[in-house]
Amino acid sequence: MSLFAQLRGGLVVSCQAAPGSPLDEPAQMVAMARAAALGGACGIRAEGLADVAAIAGALPELPLVGLRKQRTAGGGVFITPTLADVRELAGAGAALVAVDATGRLRPDGSTTETFVARAVEVLGETPLLADADSLDSGLRARAAGAAAVATTLSGCLGDGPAPHEPDVALVAALVAQLDCPVIAEGRYATPADVRAAFAAGAHAVVVGTAITDPIALTRRLADATPVGAPA
């Protein structure tokens, strides 16, 4: 079965831990990925070479979306910013490599279109997933060779806080204009959110914080107590 056939109609669980989290170790992320698989996940999204390699080795039957988060000079692009990152993620076992596909310039000054085209060449048979923030960025990434487009960065680039709700409208807009899989990602937290994404035409849905971030989940519930969550 092909990669995208495995993902079609399913849930991808993002197993990532922020730096400083007690879970920020490959062994912990492997355990999280195993738990997600037992719960019915059809794929895993993971960050960093160590976690990607560990999860790919432990769960070779599940498609693994790999990315690398790192700050670069001038800020901006954060998800898999360089071609070296792309090459190393594929080498670590990622079945699909996710990159920032917004309109921001890369660290070397190249546009997203140029970067995506180069990354596709570097990856060869490994497909590239474009993490977009808008309809325009998704269309441009697909034209440059991305195999699939995700709504990962919708609502993340403005000066204010990100919206609370997922951008289902962007999923529908991308589905209407693209000839490739559209992955719904970003703030999906409830069964209703997931159903809405599939109703809009999503190929698969990625859920992260609502499943794999116990700190955020605990803080949300602690905020409802008389004591409240710690500052």
DSSP letters, 75-101, are S---BS-SHHHHHHHHHHT-SEEEEE-
- Please tell me the least confidently modeled range out of 116-120, 144-148, 192-196, 217-221: 217-221
Structural domains counted in the chain: 1
In the predicted structure, residue 231 carries a pLDDT above the cut 80: no
Residue 158 predicted with pLDDT over 90: no
The answer to whether the CB of 11 falls within 8 A of the CB of 204 is: yes
Asked, for residue 205, whether it belongs to a domain, the answer is: yes
Q: Provide the pLDDT for residue 29.
A: 98
Q: Would you say residue 208 has pLDDT above 90?
A: yes
- Is residue 138 in a domain? yes
Beta bridge partners of 128: 97
231 in a domain, yes or no?
Answer: no
Chain segment 76-86, per-residue pLDDT in tens: 899 999 999 99
- Does residue 17 sit within a domain? yes
Q: What is the pLDDT of residue 161?
A: 80
Residue 82 included in any domain:
yes
Q: Judge whether 110 lies within some domain.
A: yes
How many angstroms from the chain centroid is the CA of residue 22?
21
CA distance 40 to 152: 21
**In contact, 45 and 67? CB cutoff 8 Å:** yes
Which residue range is the domain that position 27 belongs to?
Answer: 3-222
pLDDT of residue 75: 63
Residue 228 placed within a domain: no
Stretch 95-109: mean pLDDT: 93
Q: Is residue 227 part of a domain?
A: no
Q: What is the CATH number of the domain that holds 15?
A: 3.20.20.70
> Which tokens sit at 144?
């440059």
Residue scoring higher pLDDT (227 or 120): 120
